[in-house]
Structure 1
Amino acid sequence: MIRYIRRAAGFCLILLVALLLNATRVQVFDADSLDNNSANRRQTIARYDQPRGDILVDGKTVTGSRNTNEQLKYERTYTEGPLYAPVTGYASQTYGTTLIENAEDGILSGTDSMLSTLPLINELTRAQQPGGDVASTIQADMQKAAYEGLGGKKGAVAAIEPTTGRILALVSTPSYDPGRISGTDTSSTRAWTSLNSDTNQPMLNRAIRQLYPPGSTFKVVTAAGILDNGVATDINSATDTPNPYTLPGTTFQLTNESSSDQCKNATLLYAFEVSCNTVFAKLGVDVGLSGMVKTAENFGFNDTGVKIPSGVSASNFDTKMSNDHLAQSCIGQYNTSATPLQMAMVAAAVANDGQIMYPHLVDKTMRSNGGTVSETGTKDYRQAMTVTTATQLKTMMEAVVTDGTGTNAAIGGATVGGKTGTAQNGIDNSGTPYAWFISYAQKSDSNTPAVAVAVVVEDASANRSDVSGGGNAAPIAKAVMEAALN
């Protein structure tokens, strides 16, 4: 009898060990896969069971959370949502997250282990810390100046502090209110459908995700290539450039907007002031493809890895093309394309003696009690050109504002450099051109530039003859620069 009892007890022990092993497998080895199973709503419920941390502009919150008294308790809200949407992105219980809401989701949702004051406490207790805050680099007055300047037209503005890379304004219009799609109700669904079907694409972040032909603003890059490669050394000396210029290997004659013949053999300074296509196309071909590719990539073109912390679309300068296409590319046409942020970096490189600092949108992240979790330090990105070339380009860009096509950007008591651009658009250039202006501003009594700005306006309702970088985009850049200087 005792023998049978022992056998039964042994069998029960085996079953107990098997049960413990299975429990261990489920709780330890399979925990992550079960947590991440789409059918498991525990994590989702826990995620929205507390208020989300906030995104700050100038130390003030531009986001919030409201108690819905539903299973997913707290829903994201936005202060001045359309103004800051290109910065914050959205945090939706249905559609996920974008931009800062996505890049800093761990901090904002309270799931980042760095929020804990004790190492590994989150992993051991599986607890969720209160959501932390994210301080952006955006300056409210500059953001508003850019947003109001665009006035709802299709376009974008990017502004950078040249010496640090801090992004001071990032605007895309038309915009949208991210709070409309925060929840799970039918109104959020309807808003999502409406926003995605809108032909104006209000959810497209044109400042960092839309590529435009940069037009004549690219002549800043071409001028850097011309000077750095010794094709021209003195910006006040005549160049050997015809007007019109026959593109290499073709019979096509490139002309200039101006009907005068003063672009023929013009100095680099004059050609830059009045934006002679023929001069920059011809001299860009003289630099050669490899030289121009190297120069463009020194400014950040073709870089697919830029994050601010959200990903930025790579601006393009073709690495393989014939000389006729190279000529067109050197005046910002053919396949050359750029984001407004990229062109702000071009202007910043000139203002900062040729050095580009890595652009960033997050200043620091913090715990709910205000303690710092991380800070974004200043970091070198590229040396776009020599200091000597940058000095010459400053002279050229400042001449555009004092004597050339960018006089609408002049500001009393400040040194302003700029470059206008009117990029062709549409089949056979039948569409309304894009109006560009890139610039920088520095107080007359300061040793460092205050801001570099890029503005692009793509207003399909405007009369073609009225669209120009100097007329449409320069006043917007001026308003942003004034806000920075003040």
Structure 2
Amino acid sequence: MTRYIRHAAAFCALLLVALLVNAARVQLLLAETYRDNPANRRDTIARYHQPRGDILVAGRPVTGSRDTAEHLRYERTYRDGPLYAPVTGFASQEYGTTLLEHTEDALLSGTDPVLAPLPLWNEFTRSRNAGGDVETTIHPAAQRAAYEGLRSRKGAVAAVEPATGRILALVSLPSYDPELLSGNGETARTAWQRLNADPDKPLLNRAVRQTYPPGSTFKVITAAAALEAGVAGDLDEPTDSPDPYVLPGTTTRLTNGARGCEDASLREAFTLSCNTVFAKLGVRTGLKDMASTAHAFGFNDEDLRIPFPVARSTFDTTVDRAQLALASIGQYNTRATPLQMAMVAAAVASGGQVREPYLVERTTRASGGTVSSGGSRPVRRAMQPGTAMRLQQLMRGVVEKGTGERAAIPGAVVGGKTGTAQHGLGNSGTPYAWFVGWAQDRSDIQPRVAVAVVVEDAAANRREISGGGTAAPIARSVMEAVLEP
């Protein structure tokens, strides 16, 4: 009998060893395989088992969390979702995350190691820290002014603070409600299919991910390049420019939309937005200096993050002289995001310095303690202060007695540049209306806001579209919102 007991005990011990070996094999050798298996929902369930941290605008949450009492317990909610969608993006149980919800996901979901006071203890207990909060630089009144200014038209607005690079407004229309995508049921799937099938692309963030021909707003950069290179000097000296201007090496005649451009001074040409003057000026300045100045303003930069990536604005460095003439008036292959053009206006406003824009003021723990701060970004010089001062004069002239009069604000100093950009095969597309500018109260030492507006109004009559008539009033309302005490 004893012998049978010994055999049974030995067999049980063997089974126990086999179980321990198998458990060790699973835990040590196969852990990653099981963890990454699509059928394993433990991480997903844990991820949504607690409320997500919030994204804040002026200290007020524009996001929240709703308890669904399901396995994936908490769904994301949004306050004024369409208004702030170009800032927040969406956080979906089914379709992942975008924009700030994506770049700040580790902090918002509580998985960022910086949130763990005792990392080893969290690893041992498999516990998760409460999600942190993200405080943005957005100015709520400016954001709403931009949104309501665009109304039902397609387009985008970007506004920055020249002295720091803080992004004050980021609007893209048409927009969407991110809350519709938060869950994993039929509502989310239907909304996802509808939004992706919409030809107006409401999920596209036009302010930072779409590039447009900047049209005459690019003449700010052409003027800066010519002044820096010494090709232009006195703002009131005649430029010896014909009207029309025959593009070098071709028989193509470039004309103007305004009269009085023949032999116009730089000041007159900027105010009237003379294509012939600036096309010839770009050719005289030369490709090397034009490309160098465009690059100094931020064109051809592939690494801009705010913190999510911004599409590269482009100035072609392989053009011939005829193509350079067109590129110098914001046509041909020249492309820019609205945020890039707001940076151009900000560089003029800040005396020639370009500060990288940023969207996150600071991040905090759920308890309120600061995790990180945004602060002012690195500075580079796009042009000399003297050149910037002369461009400020030119831009003030556009608003005071030129095509940008509808951007004027009583009691404020406003500078701007309008643009109407052609596009499409043979310029058949409805033109884009542009305005870039800056504003300061008369008591301010320097401008407080720089803005860029682009409107894609495909339903409008071509003759009724202009930067001064369509885009400038929107810019004015945004600048007014920032300047209001």
Shorter chain as denominator, the TM-score bin is over 0.9
| Structure 1 residue 432: Cα displacement | 1.3
State the partner residue of 2:105: 105
Alpha carbons of structure 1 residues 24 and 470: separation in structure 2 relative to 1, 3 Å: same
| Structure 1 residue 451: Cα displacement | 0.5
| Equivalent residues in 2 for 1:470-485, closer than 5 Å | 470-485=468-483
Letter in 1 for 2:253: Q
| Structure 1 residue 313: Cα displacement | 0.5
Letter in 1 for 2:267: L
Among candidates 436, 439, 452, match of residue 437 of structure 2: 439
Deviation digits for residues 1-36 of structure 1, max 9, x if unmatched? xxxx99999999999778656644543455444323
Alpha carbons of structure 1 residues 36 and 468: separation in structure 2 relative to 1, 3 Å: same
State the partner residue of 1:118: 118
State the partner residue of 2:360: 362
- Larger displacement relative to structure 2 (121-130 or 263-272): 121-130
| Equivalent residues in 2 for 1:50-449, closer than 5 Å | 50-258=50-258, 260=259, 262-449=260-447
| Structure 1 residue 126: Cα displacement | 3.2
Determine if the alignment matches structure 1 residue 464 to structure 2 residue 458.
Answer: no
Structure 2 unaligned spans of 5+: none
SS at match of 1:238: coil
Deviation digits for residues 399-447 of structure 1, max 9, x if unmatched? 1111111010111121111000000122212221100000101111111
Alpha carbons of structure 1 residues 173 and 7: separation in structure 2 relative to 1, 3 Å: same
Whole-angstrom distance in 2 between the partners of 1:324 and 1:121? 67
Whole-angstrom distance in 1 between the partners of 2:271 and 2:353? 23
Whole-angstrom distance in 1 between the partners of 2:204 and 2:291? 29
Alpha carbons of structure 1 residues 21 and 363: separation in structure 2 relative to 1, 3 Å: farther
CA contact (8 A) 1:113 1:120 kept: no
Whole-angstrom distance in 2 between the partners of 1:22 and 1:348? 64
Q: Percent identity?
A: 62
Whole-angstrom distance in 1 between the partners of 2:160 and 2:30? 47
CA contact (8 A) 1:156 1:206 kept: yes
Whole-angstrom distance in 2 between the partners of 1:254 and 1:111? 58
Whole-angstrom distance in 2 between the partners of 1:36 and 1:133? 28
Whole-angstrom distance in 1 between the partners of 2:65 and 2:252? 60
| Structure 1 residue 130: Cα displacement | 0.8
CA contact (8 A) 1:300 1:382 kept: no
- Larger displacement relative to structure 2 (74-83 or 427-436): 427-436
Letter in 2 for 1:299: F
Alpha carbons of structure 1 residues 29 and 233: separation in structure 2 relative to 1, 3 Å: farther
Alpha carbons of structure 1 residues 97 and 233: separation in structure 2 relative to 1, 3 Å: same
Deviation digits for residues 293-335 of structure 1, max 9, x if unmatched? 1111111111111111111100111110111111000000001
**How many residue pairs align between the two structures?**
483
CA contact (8 A) 1:358 1:381 kept: yes
SS at match of 1:100: helix
Letter in 2 for 1:395: Q
Letter in 2 for 1:290: K
SS at match of 2:413: strand
| Structure 1 residue 127: Cα displacement | 2.1
CA contact (8 A) 1:209 1:339 kept: yes
SS at match of 1:397: helix
State the partner residue of 2:449: 451
Deviation digits for residues 236-257 of structure 1, max 9, x if unmatched? 2121222111101100011110
Structure 1 unaligned spans of 5+: none
Deviation digits for residues 279-300 of structure 1, max 9, x if unmatched? 1111101111111111111111
SS at match of 1:45: helix
| Structure 1 residue 394: Cα displacement | 0.5
SS at match of 2:76: strand
SS at match of 1:439: strand
| Structure 1 residue 71: Cα displacement | 1.1
SS at match of 1:283: helix
Whole-angstrom distance in 1 between the partners of 2:164 and 2:33? 42
Whole-angstrom distance in 2 between the partners of 1:47 and 1:101? 14
SS at match of 2:418: strand
Whole-angstrom distance in 2 between the partners of 1:249 and 1:138? 48
Letter in 1 for 2:215: G
Alpha carbons of structure 1 residues 428 and 38: separation in structure 2 relative to 1, 3 Å: same
Whole-angstrom distance in 1 between the partners of 2:312 and 2:370? 32
- Larger displacement relative to structure 2 (268-277 or 22-31): 22-31
CA contact (8 A) 1:174 1:200 kept: yes
Whole-angstrom distance in 1 between the partners of 2:16 and 2:375? 55
| Structure 1 residue 268: Cα displacement | 0.9
Whole-angstrom distance in 1 between the partners of 2:25 and 2:294? 55
CA contact (8 A) 1:355 1:380 kept: no
| Structure 1 residue 336: Cα displacement | 0.5
SS at match of 1:364: strand
Deviation digits for residues 155-175 of structure 1, max 9, x if unmatched? 000000011111000000111
Whole-angstrom distance in 2 between the partners of 1:70 and 1:266? 71
When normalised by structure 2's length, the TM-score is 0.95
